[in-house]
Every structure is written in structure tokens, then in C-alpha cells.
Chains A and B, each alone.
Chain A
């Protein structure tokens, strides 16, 4: 059961006219039951997963920090050394010549060339696969761990074991055991940065643990370090990077994958799928019977989904949904910073502060577009999956609609598409991302999707650019002459001249720019010839913000290079 949106009045060429929005089902008509407020104290649909082991790792770090401070005090130092030497004496009793040779070979795992080789291999893979977040965490843990161990060793100044013959070479103070720190850091870092969780990580982790364990046993056997030196080293080299990776690059938000295409998509596994179903039922009253990824290749800013919900009469309805998570928030932030640096203050490029704000904004825009009668997806609201981390926004699914490039278009479709720009202007809104993939056609109606970039009360040139991008998109499937002729029915020639005077390569979405290049007809030039002559409109503005963001980016790059250089310099400390 569907109903038509109530009519609304829009200004067209100075005259009020009636416009009817798209036919959409209401939320209550989709599924009226299921809504439920989450009581205080009840976990959200997908509680943030804090590994039980993370707490133990944090505890190990705290204990190590406390022990290190206590080491400065003579009684603790003496006590720890007594226990350490007792252990080493016990180990000494099992020494045999053949085993000693083996342990001396195993001890080479902690040598600089093994550690450096593993570290640079990991860095190379992370660079090749452009996993810069993991790279940053990896480099930071590597440098911080190595440098931290170096500082600790200077602060404590502990001697090597006495009373027991040392059977291998050593360098520097004993506490913490720096070769163990270095080997653990690169091994754990490689496991968490390179190995996908799920099937592979549980298999690889024991191998990494065995390698580190072998090095630990070898160093105890050879009496190069005290047991407490090694425990402190494991806290710095193993516990600290695990906590850092789980905190700064949580697997649920930044999964390690090696498939092609955008990396921003989240895995809709059983746990998340169940959480989405529960959230949509409790918060939006939707009874979801199927969730499937949809159009992943066309979206890097969210994880797009197609939902199938059942209505009270037993029939089903398809809906479109976008799953927003921290990774998408950060993608949006980098994208906007990039635009600010590259293009200056084109318009509002301030990033969103939280995932909730991102979902709220798009939901608001969907409702605004509906209210002004735009042919855009009807909003169904958004639901919270994990507070402040994951939200899913639901909207109408345009079943049977085709991308404009795949459809034959004629005058009615062109008129309808141009009318959407007219309506945007009248409502004081700019879509800001008009391109072939965001303009669908169904039953001779043009449908405008993806309103996430839309803005209210935009700059005048930004509104003009919406018209230019719409005309260019339409001309790809027809001719510039035809589109220009139809545009004159709804816009003044001066409006069209302004649109193409404001149109620069930076104002044209990447996909549209690529299609124009492939088309080869010089559509932008053709439109400029058809429209009255007008001087180009400057759209890039230098601002303090642009200078500051550019300077900040340069500092970040310098910091990244500095980290790599610092690691090379610190290699001598490993």
C-alpha cells in the first residue's frame, strides 16, 4: 500500500506551481510494530567489543610500569635480582652443549637484520595496499616501543645477570630485554596490521607467539637477560602494540582485507547483521527479513545495503540503507581536508565530528528533500547500532530505476531532470554531487539520489554549478543543443551562462569528469558556446583555514617521514 506525498508548491520561473513528490510508503505502512525504547543499562544492538584479553594486556602494562618505578628502589631491585638469579641458576643446570648451539641460533631472531627485515616488509605491504592508518599505528608503536625501551634501560641501568655464565653476546643495559622488545614489536605489528581476522589471524598468532617464545627461552637459557627483563620486554613489545592496534585501528571499524575496491565497507557478518535487524526493529519498527550488500563498487563513503522488510499484509518491500561507521567518518574527514587543501574554501568543507552527526545530517537532508518535493528517496530514519560508532540510515529503494547513462532519454526526462535543479534553487538547496550515478530514470521520471553532500543556503555559484553538472550529465545521453534548448524553457539564458562560467574542472564530480573525457565531444565547450558569453567566475578562495590545513598536512607528512627516519636511527638501539 502506498500513498502519494501531499502536494507542495514550488516556484518555477517566478510562478507558483504544484508539484507532487514521489510515491513512497510510509514507515507505519511498511511495518507498524516492533518499536521499543532501550531501557537504561541495556546494551546496544552491537555492543563495542572489548576483547577480554585487552584488559589483561592493559593490566600487564600497568604492572610493568609499577615494577619499573619500583626497580629504582634498592629493596625491590635486590629482591627481583635474587629471584631472577635463582631462576637462571635453575636453567643453567639443564645446559648441554648441543642445546646451547641451538639456543644460540634461536637467539639470532632478535638480531637487527631479522627485525629490520620483518619491519620493512610489513611497511612495504602496508604502503602497497595503502593502509595508511595501520601504517601509522605500526610505525608509532615501533618507534615508541623501541625508544621507550631505550629510555627505560637508561633510567634503570641494570647490569647483566651475574653468577651465571652468559653464553651469548649482549649490548646495553639488561632491563628491559631490548631484542625481545624489538622482535615482539615487529611480529605482533605484522600480525595485527597484515593478517585478516577471522580464519587467518587465529592461525598465525600462535606461530608468532611461538617465535617470540623461542627467543625468550633462548635468552633465558643463555642467561643474557633476567626473567624480569624479559617480562618487561613482553609488556612493551607484545601487550602495548596489541592494545594500540585494538584502540586506534579496531578490527570492526578498519578490517584488514585484500580485496579490490574501496576498503571502507564493513563486513556484514552474522553478529552485525543480527544487530542491524534488532536495531531496525526496535528503533524504526521495520521487520527486516534480508540484508545484502548493494552497489559496493559505487560507494566508498558508507557500506550500502539492500534491505527486504515485510509489511503487515505479508508482502515484502525493498529499502536502501547505508551503514556509517568510524571508518566512514574518517574517510569523510580526509576527503574534506583534501578538498580544502586542493581547492580552497569552495563552500562548507568542515568535517563531521561524530558518526551520529553524519547520519543525522543525511537523514535531515532526506527529509528536507522530501519536504520540498524533490524526487529523492523517502527517509525512513536511522538507527543506532553501536553508540557513537555505527549507525544505519534507511531510505526508499528505487526498484527498477536505471542510471541515466544506461537509459534512453528524451525531452520529458530532460525536462524533469532540469526541473529538479529548478526546485533545488527555489528551495535554497544545492545537491553538490550531480553526476550520472546519482541521477536515475524510472518511468520517464528523473530521480536524484545520494543527498549526503547537499547543503542549505549554498553559495550562488554552487547553485549555478548544480545546473551545469545536470546539463552535462543529460548531454552525455543526448546532445548539448537539445539539453540547452530544453533548459531555456525553465531557466534564463543568463542563468545558464552563469552556470558554465562557474563550472571548472574542480566543480565537476570525478565520475562526471571521467565520462566527459571518454565522451570526447567537448560538451563543456559546446555549452559555453551556446550560452551567452560571461566572464569566468572565480570559485577558489584562499583562507586562513586553507593555509592552516595545508600547513597541518605538511607537518603530518613531515611527521610520517620523521617516524620512518626515526625508526632507521633507532635501529641501532634494537
Chain B
């Protein structure tokens, strides 16, 4: 192999990920949130809000839905869900230590020991607002903005796709499977 061909090979190797990325149409760097059965990946979400009783996670995504923008960091975690029925209006999901529920209406709780609130900004022509799951030590908010009509099916979809995993359940899995203590 001549030096020139070695250099070409090097450049090709280095460029391969970008070419592959471009071909796959994933030029925008994104990442999906962990699924509820991925304890190892979920741990970092739990660490982002220490002490929260529940951790948001993905159940099986229904056809036409995709998750992206997963961004866990100290203080909270963010990710998005988007449906191909309304691709321009993603649902922004925030996991934080607290939410402002002032002006929100209580609705059917989505998990034991949690309270769920709905805060609507608009009903028509678009059905937009924020759904909030509030529990001990934390809160998950879902900011949505759907066209009136299809909104019923879309809300039902995302409520069923984002689960709340109990922290103690995750801690037990991590302890038994990875010999790691999740902490408070």
C-alpha cells in the first residue's frame, strides 16, 4: 500500500460515519429516550432528578410516532415525541424536580401516588396546552399543540407511549442486575 493510498484509506475511514449518516438521512444528530425496560440507560434519567419517585420512559412507540432530542443533564431531562400526522408540532417532554400547576385542572392520575393536571392554552382552532404528572420529588410535563379533531387520538397515543417507572423498581433492577445503588 503506497503512502498516497494509505492516506486515501484513512480519509475514507474517517469520512465513513458522515457518509453513512448523510445516506441514512440522519444528518441532524438526534437520540431517542430510553425505553422502560432499559434500566441501564434509564439510570441517568433518574440521576438527573434525584429523589423523584417516578422516572419517565418510553413504552412501545405506535406506528407513525418517533422520539428524539433526548437530553439528560443534572437538573432534568428533555426529550420529544412527534407524530407523522402532525410532524411540525412535536410534544416536548420535560422531567424536572417541580412544575407550576397554578391554573391547571386536576385530571385522572396516571400513576399511583401521582397527580395529573391539564393546563390548556387553546381549544380551537388548535388544541394546545400542557399535561403534568406531579409526584414526590419530581414532575413530568408534556407540552402539546394539535389540530382540533385529530387531537383526541394523538393525546391518547402519547399518554400511552410515555410511561412512569417507579424509582424503587428501577433501583431494584439496577441492584440485582448491575450491582449498582441508584441512590435517593
Contact = CB atoms under 8 A, between A and B. Distances in A.
B43 A353 contact: no
Interface in A115-174: 140-141, 143-144, 147-148, 150-151, 154, 157-160, 162-163, 166, 168-174
B14 interface: yes
A248 interface: yes
A339 to B, nearest CB: 19
Contacts of A78: 178-180
A354 B2 contact: yes
B157 interface: no
B38 A166 contact: no
B99 to A, nearest CB: 21
A81 interface: yes
A159 B44 contact: yes
Given A77-B178, A159-B47, A160-B47, A169 B38 contact: no
A172 B73 contact: yes
A388 interface: yes
A573 B71 CA distance: 10
A250 B183 CA distance: 50
B71 A162 contact: no
Nearest to A148: B17
Contacts of B178: 74, 77-78, 81
Given A157-B40, A158-B40, A169-B74, A353 B10 contact: no
Interface in A340-355: 353-354
A77 B177 CA distance: 11
B74 A166 contact: yes
Contact of A154 (B6, B18, B31): B31
Nearest to B17: A147
B4 interface: yes
A173 B46 CA distance: 12
Contact of B14 (A140, A388, A573): A140
A411 B71 CA distance: 82
A542 interface: no
A147 B17 CA distance: 9
B72 A172 contact: yes
Given A81-B180, A157-B44, A573 B10 contact: no
A350 B167 CA distance: 67
A566 B73 CA distance: 23
A169 B75 contact: yes
Contacts of A144: 14, 17
Contacts of A559: 15
B180 A159 contact: yes
Contacts of B180: 78, 81, 159, 162
Contacts of B15: 140, 559
A171 B40 contact: no
Contacts of A389: 3
A87 B140 CA distance: 35
Interface in A430-477: none
Contacts of B177: 74
A171 B29 contact: no
Contacts of B17: 144, 147-148, 151
A150 B70 CA distance: 12
B11 A140 contact: yes
A24 interface: no
A166 B11 CA distance: 39
A568 to B, nearest CB: 12
Nearest to A572: B29
B60 interface: no
Contact of A248 (B7, B18, B183): B7
B29 A569 contact: yes
Contacts of B7: 247-248
A494 interface: no
Contacts of B38: 157
B22 to A, nearest CB: 9
B43 to A, nearest CB: 4
Contacts of A573: 29
Contacts of A74: 177-178
A326 interface: yes
Contacts of B71: 171-172
A449 to B, nearest CB: 28
A182 interface: no
Interface in B43-78: 43-44, 47, 71-75
B74 A566 contact: no
B11 A171 contact: no
Nearest to B46: A159
A502 B113 CA distance: 91
A49 to B, nearest CB: 13
B55 to A, nearest CB: 12
A354 B4 contact: yes
Given A140-B11, A157-B34, A162 B18 contact: no
Contacts of B14: 140-141, 144, 244
Contacts of A77: 40, 178
B68 to A, nearest CB: 12
A82 interface: yes
B169 interface: no
B182 A162 contact: yes
B102 to A, nearest CB: 28
A59 to B, nearest CB: 18
Given A148-B17, A170-B74, A569-B29, 9 more contacts: A74-B178, A144-B17, A157-B40, A159-B180, A169-B74, A171-B72, A172-B44, A172-B71, A172-B72
Interface of B: 2-4, 6-7, 10-11, 14-15, 17-18, 28-29, 31, 34, 38, 40-41, 43-44, 47, 71-75, 177-183
16 contacts: A74-B178, A140-B11, A143-B18, A159-B40, A159-B43, A162-B181, A170-B73, A171-B71, A172-B73, A173-B41, A244-B10, A244-B14, A247-B7, A559-B15, A570-B29, A573-B29
